Structure 1
Amino acid sequence: MTQRLAVIATGVIGNGWIARALARGWDVVAFDPALDAEARTRAAVANAWPALERLGTTAGASPERLHFVDRLDAAVAGADLIQENVPERLPLKREILATLDAVAAPETLIGSSTSGFKPSDLQRDCRQAPGRVIVAHPFNPVYLLPLVELVGGAATTPEQMGSAQSLYRSLAMRPLVVKREIEGHIADRLMEALWREALHLVNDGVATTEEVDAAMVYGCGLRWSLMGTFLTFHLAGGDAGMRHMLEQFGPALKLPWTRLEAPELSEALIDKVVEGCEHQAAGRPVAELEQRRDAFLVELLALVRQYWPEAEGLEERI
């Protein structure tokens, strides 16, 4: 039986959800009041489709299974899953989610792509079935990266979270259930810490944006893409593993190396970052850079599966 995804708001993340669902053979109904939304979405899907075909699509997958509608109630009618992607403004998200909760069938799960807000805050104005409104936070590009952080709120039941895991697995995603509500969830909190340090390095003239990126690409990023943070440091302890690593290098954590708080986003810093990124892009349009990134990620995902096959069942073990 064909499943249907309703996508509310079609920016970069919304379009990523659309491309992923289409590649898995789902029907997709999208709602976005912007006049050029449909044209932008179809162009984004076309740009993503070659990478999706290399990764492997499901029988029956087709961009033609995407339809746009001009009303929220029409978008969610008959949906198996609703994905909300409006801008990161809590009052706006609560308003849209309350409307979706009112017009959607009470058993239909509503996932919010929010990168920062807690689900209990998102559920607050929902009256029909607030527990089915959860955080379902993906990572860009959504159509290739499999992680989705699932966070339930105060009203969410274990059964609803179980249903969410099944739905996102059917989209070929790797659901990670976050045990406690926290702003920023897990991955974004880690990325924000790194982002703040990177801004300080650029702001203080220690490195350019290109040099910071090179440190990631040719250094820790290569290790992290396979083993993550903790297992990488476990290996750093030699045969004795993590315990020896902490005994030897743990005291360095007290040294004032990290700045943690973000630097002031001054015009001078903005100019440094923008100019650095434009230099790195070397005049190439974003669509071209996206295709290069996607080709790399398809091959990298294959390598991760080859060298770390046991990670495929991670969500069942935690």
Structure 2
Amino acid sequence: MTATPPLAPEDVRKVACIGAGVIGGGWVAHFLARGYDVTAWDPADDAEEKLRRLVSAAWPALEQMGLAEGASQDRLTVTPTLAEAVADADFVQESAPEKLELKRSLLAELTDATRDGVIIASSTSGYPMSDMHSDGADNGRLVVGHPFNPPYLIPLVEVVGGEKTDRAAVEWASRFYDVAGKSVITMDRELPGFIANRLQEALWREALHMVANGEASVQDIDDSITEGPGLRWAFMGPLLTFALAGGEGGMGHMLDHFGPSLKSPWTRLEAPELTRELRDAMVEGCEAEAGERTYADLVAERDQGVINVLRATGRLGGAE
């Protein structure tokens, strides 16, 4: 069945959130702050009490960020059944626990309970959508919409479909999240763990190795990020940061100079072969990301960004 949403992303007014734990509740807070009517359902007996407490706790931060016109906690309705929650929904965000069979059955149930064409997104943190497709379900409108915790503060959402997902559904979901105030990465292909979680996982595993082997303490590892590369990663990702390490020669010079270190035992991860194709892809990607900004522009942007982060976190020693 072809996914044909009943509304354009810009016309969505009512969002249903299925699952109201930390992630689902964070989504509820985000959508309320963006001015949507939100219906929520969770099977736990105390779900509504916990959800409203979570939203209330998040609201001061959302007020600081700026509420959309009409945003109100009063626009939240918690329903006794899943069917009631999604009956009139224009979009559905599923945030059930990370159990594959639960996800499969729940998503199939949601395709039966929602109006034809309504896009249903899963907050799964690692399962490919293809693994969550079910026989007999309207799989064409199922997408992954993977947020970062807490969803009401961290802008990123990674969007990707499965083998049976219509490309139009992926494009619609990406546009909807953009309209709803998120920073969207639309992935071209499925990848377990998606992009950001795989990068986090690599750092996490190496940290565990270092602690297990007595090579660094937990404090050392945390300080190495917050006082080091994390300051730059807050506004300029690791690849463009590495490109600046190549000076005016950019990523090409950096790879030519430091490429041999990929064979050094700096991490337990196995490095890919630095082929000409990989080198060119990295160089071209950095050039595209930099756009019209020169090396000097990027250096100035980086320097000011670090100063801004240090100032925001109170680490400039009183300097203005």
TM range (shorter): 0.7 to 0.9
Between the aligned partners of 1:39 and 1:210, the Cα distance in structure 2 is: 36
1:150 — aligned with what? 159
1:226 — aligned with what? 235
Does 2:253 correspond to 1:244?
yes
Report how far residue 260 of structure 1 moved: 3.4
Between the aligned partners of 1:126 and 1:210, the Cα distance in structure 2 is: 51
Does 2:160 correspond to 1:115?
no
Pick the aligned partner of 2:55 from 45, 60, 74: 45
1:172 — aligned with what? 181
2:5 — aligned with what? none
Between the aligned partners of 2:212 and 2:186, the Cα distance in structure 1 is: 36
- The aligned amino acid for 1:83 is Q
Q: 3-state DSSP class of the match of 1:46? A: helix
Report how far residue 124 of structure 1 moved: 2.7
Structure 1 126/118 Cα, relative in aligned 2: closer, same or farther at 3 Å?
farther
- Tell which structure's C-alpha radius of gyration is larger: 2
With normalisation by structure 2, the TM-score equals 0.79
- The aligned amino acid for 1:116 is G
- The aligned amino acid for 2:100 is L
1:90 — aligned with what? 100
1:24 — aligned with what? 34
- The aligned amino acid for 1:109 is I
Confirm or deny: 8 A CA contact 1:150 1:176 kept in the other structure. Answer: yes
Report how far residue 126 of structure 1 moved: 4.7
Structure 1 258/126 Cα, relative in aligned 2: closer, same or farther at 3 Å?
farther
Report how far residue 78 of structure 1 moved: 0.9
Structure 1 vs Structure 2: percent identity of aligned residues? 50
With normalisation by structure 1, the TM-score equals 0.79
Q: 3-state DSSP class of the match of 2:191? A: coil
Between the aligned partners of 2:79 and 2:233, the Cα distance in structure 1 is: 41
Confirm or deny: 8 A CA contact 2:13 2:36 kept in the other structure. Answer: yes
1:51-70 equivalences under 5 Å are 51-70=61-80
| Deviation per residue, 1:64-121 (Å, 9 max, x gap) | 1111111111010111111111111111100111111111112111000011111112
Confirm or deny: 8 A CA contact 2:206 2:268 kept in the other structure. Answer: yes
Q: 3-state DSSP class of the match of 1:14? A: helix
2:217 — aligned with what? 208
Pick the aligned partner of 1:73 from 83, 108, 111: 83
Between the aligned partners of 2:136 and 2:130, the Cα distance in structure 1 is: 10
Report how far residue 206 of structure 1 moved: 2.1
* Number of aligned positions between the proteins: 263
- The aligned amino acid for 1:161 is V
| Deviation per residue, 1:154-205 (Å, 9 max, x gap) | 2222221221122112210112111111111111111100010111122222
Structure 1 254/161 Cα, relative in aligned 2: closer, same or farther at 3 Å?
same
Between the aligned partners of 1:109 and 1:68, the Cα distance in structure 2 is: 20
- The aligned amino acid for 1:25 is G
Gaps in structure 1 of 5+ consecutive residues: 262-298, 304-318
Structure 1 126/18 Cα, relative in aligned 2: closer, same or farther at 3 Å?
farther
Does 2:116 correspond to 1:106?
yes
Between the aligned partners of 2:230 and 2:136, the Cα distance in structure 1 is: 41
1:270 — aligned with what? none
Confirm or deny: 8 A CA contact 1:102 1:126 kept in the other structure. Answer: no
2:24 — aligned with what? 14
- The aligned amino acid for 2:242 is F
Confirm or deny: 8 A CA contact 1:122 1:133 kept in the other structure. Answer: no
- The aligned amino acid for 1:63 is Q
Consecutive aligned runs of 4 or more in structure 1 exceeding 3 Å deviation: none
Gaps in structure 2 of 5+ consecutive residues: 1-10, 271-307, 313-320
Report how far residue 144 of structure 1 moved: 1.1
Between the aligned partners of 1:208 and 1:42, the Cα distance in structure 2 is: 39
- The aligned amino acid for 1:121 is D
2:294 — aligned with what? none
Confirm or deny: 8 A CA contact 2:12 2:91 kept in the other structure. Answer: no
Does 2:12 correspond to 1:35?
no
Between the aligned partners of 1:46 and 1:209, the Cα distance in structure 2 is: 33
